[in-house]
Amino acid sequence: MSDIKTMILEGKTALGIEFGSTRIKAVLVDENNTPIAAGNHEWENRYENNIWTYSQEDIWNGLQDSYRNMAADVKEKYGITLTKVGALGFSAMMHGYLPFDKDGKMLVPFRTWRNSITEEASVKLTEAFHFNIPQRWSVAHLYQAILNKEEHVKDIAYLTTLAGYVHWKLTGRKVLGIGEAAGVLPIDAGTRHYSVRMLDTFNEMIASEGFSWKLQDILPEILVAGEEAGTLTEEGAKLLDPSGNLQAGIPVCPPEGDAGTGMTATNSVAQRTGNVSAGTSVFAMVVLEKELKEVHPEIDMVTTPDGSAVAMVHCNNCTSDLNAWINLFEEFTQAFGMNVDRNDLFGTLYRKALEGDPDCGGLLAYNYFSGEHITGFEEGRPLFVRNPESKFNLANFMRVHLFTALGALKTGLDILLKEEGVQIDRLMGHGGLFKTKEVGQKILAAAVNAPVTVMETAGEGGAWGIAILASYMLHKEEGESLAAFLERAVFAGQEGVTLEPDAKDVEGFNVFVQRYAAGLPIEKAAVESLI
C-alpha cells in the first residue's frame, strides 16, 4: 500500500481513458503497469435525424465523470487527492466523422462508426484506391458528405476522430496515433504516413468541387507509439478535472483507437498474434507476416500502434441484443420481488448456454441493432426465430444469442483463415463477452476452431491498453519495441487461461452458421417490414 501511495504522490503512474460505445472508463496503473484505480461513466449513443451520434455535452460530461470516479477511487483506497500522473493517454471507438471549421466549431454532429450511410462513397473509394474502404472510415464519411452536396464541407479546416478530438482539446495538438489514423485513410507501411497515392487520388476525385482545401491539409499528423504527443494544457487540465486538483504539464501519448488499445491490452502486437474484442461491437485483429493476396470488402487493413500491418474483421453488432435479453430476465426477477445481482444474472445465464445443444437446437437469432456490412445490411432488426420442432429451452436460447454475437465475425474470419491462409499462433479474447469465466472463450474457440487465451486483465480492456501505451512512452528502454516492452514490463509471468476448441462445439457452430446464412432473407424481410 505504501509503495502505491509513493508512486501516486511522485507521479510514477499512467492514466488511460477510453470512450467505448456504452462506457467511458478511466484506469490508473502503477509503474509495474498494474491497475490501481478505476472509474466508469455509462453513456448511450442517440439516433437523431437518421444518424447515430453522441453530443459534445455527452463527451465532456462523460470524460469528467469517469475521471472524477477514478480520482474518488484513489482517494478512497489510498487517502490521496490525485494531483498528477506520470503520463496520460486517450482512446476511443475508431473511425467516424468530426469536422471543424477554422475557428474550431464542430460543423455537424459527430457521426459514429455505427452509421451505415456511406455505401456509395465506400464503393467508389474502394474502386479508386484499389483498397477496401469500409463505410465507417472517416474518409468514406467525408466523401459521402461531398457526394450528398452537404453545405458544411467547403468550410472544413480539420477532420478528426473522437480520440483525436479529445486529445486536441486537452493538449492543443492535432495528432493521431498510427493505428487510429489507419481508420481515417490507408497508411503506407513504409513511410508510416497517409498513402500519398490515395491522397492524390482523392484530391483528383474532388477537384471539380473547388474546395479551398486538399485532403492532406485537414487531416491530423500521425505519430507512432512511444512518441510524445504534447502535454496537458492548463485549459485541458480544467476540462478534464473541473475541481482544479489536476496539474497541467503531464505528457500525453498519441491518441489511439479501441483496436490498437485492444491489441496492446492482449499482448497482440507481434506478427502471427491476434485478438478478438467483443462488446457492443466485435472485431478481430490479426498481425500479418505478409500482405493479403486479394482486396476483400469484409477485411479492413489497419496497423498496430507501432505501425505493423493488421487485418481487421469488424462487425457492428455483438452484445447489445444479449444485454437486452438479460435486462428482460432482470425485469422478470424483479417482478417476483427478487433482488438478483446483475453480475450473477449475467454469469448464470451465460453458463446455462454451455448446457445447450452444440447447434443451439435449431434456434436462430440475429443481433442486428444496426446494419452489418459483412452480410450486406444497411439497417438491422434484432430477431429471434424458431421452428415448431426446434428445441426451445433456456440453454439453447442463451447459446443461440451467444453464437449469433459472433456469427458475422466468423463469416469474415473464414475469409482470412481459409481463403488467405493466414497463420495465427495465439488468439486472445477481451471485452465484456469474456467476463464470465470460460463461456465467451469456449464459444469463440468453436467459431474459429483455434485455441483462445483470456488473461485475468481481459475485463480491463482498452482503458488499460491506452494506460500501457502512455506507460510505454514514459518507461521504454532505448530502442525498445512495443512488443518487447509488453513482454518485459507488462505480461512477464502472466499465463492466462487457454481453452482448446471442442470438436462437437466446432461442428455445432458450423451447422449454426449455415442456418445463419440461409436465414438472412428473414432478417431482410424484417428490415423491410418492421417499421
- The 3-state secondary structure of 34-74 reads CEEEEEEEECCCEEECCEEECCHHHHHHHHHHHHHHHHHHH
**Is 519's pLDDT higher than 90?**
yes
Sign of CA dihedral 414, 374, 264, 184: positive
**Is 509's pLDDT higher than 80?**
yes
**Is 124's pLDDT higher than 70?**
yes
Question: For residue 370, how many C-alpha atoms fall within 13 Å in the half-sphere facing its CB?
Answer: 24
426 — pLDDT class (breaks 50, 70, 90): confident
pLDDT of residue 365: 98
399 — pLDDT class (breaks 50, 70, 90): very high
Average pLDDT, the chain: 94
The number of beta carbons lying within 10 Å of the beta carbon of residue 121 is 22
Whole-angstrom distance, CA of residue 491 vs CA of residue 453: 13
Q: What is the mean pLDDT of residues 9-31?
A: 95
Whole-angstrom distance, CA of residue 163 vs CA of residue 156: 18
The number of beta carbons lying within 10 Å of the beta carbon of residue 113 is 29
**Is 461's pLDDT higher than 80?**
no
In the structure grid, which three cell numbers stand for residue 77, read together?
483506497
Q: What percentage of the chain has pLDDT greater than the value 90? A: 81
CB 311 within 8 A of CB 416: yes
Q: What is the mean pLDDT of residues 392-405?
A: 98
The number of beta carbons lying within 10 Å of the beta carbon of residue 103 is 7
The number of beta carbons lying within 10 Å of the beta carbon of residue 527 is 18
Only one residue has cell 437518421, namely 50
525 — pLDDT class (breaks 50, 70, 90): very high
Q: What is the mean pLDDT of residues 484-503?
A: 91
Burial of 456 (0-12, 13-18, 19+ CB in 10 A): exposed
pLDDT of residue 1: 53
Whole-angstrom distance, CA of residue 119 vs CA of residue 378: 8
pLDDT of residue 457: 61
Cβ neighbours of residue 514 closer than 8 Å, sequence gap 6 or more: none
Q: What is the mean pLDDT of residues 10-15?
A: 95
pLDDT of residue 458: 53
pLDDT of residue 459: 56
Tell me which amino acid residue 86 is. G
pLDDT of residue 291: 83
State the pTM of this model: 0.81
**Is 439's pLDDT higher than 90?**
yes
220 — pLDDT class (breaks 50, 70, 90): very high
What digits encode the pLDDT tens for the residues 27-49? 999 999 999 999 999 999 999 99
Q: How many helices (H) and strands (E) does the chain have?
A: 19, 22
**Is 147's pLDDT higher than 90?**
yes
Tell me which amino acid residue 250 is. I
pLDDT of residue 35: 94
**Is 138's pLDDT higher than 60?**
yes
279 — pLDDT class (breaks 50, 70, 90): confident
What digits encode the pLDDT tens for the residues 319-344? 999 999 999 999 999 999 999 999 99
pLDDT of residue 189: 81
What are residue 131's phi and psi, to 5 degrees? -155, 135
CB 231 within 8 A of CB 158: no
Whole-angstrom distance, CA of residue 321 vs CA of residue 366: 9
- 309-315 and 300-303: which strand pairing? antiparallel
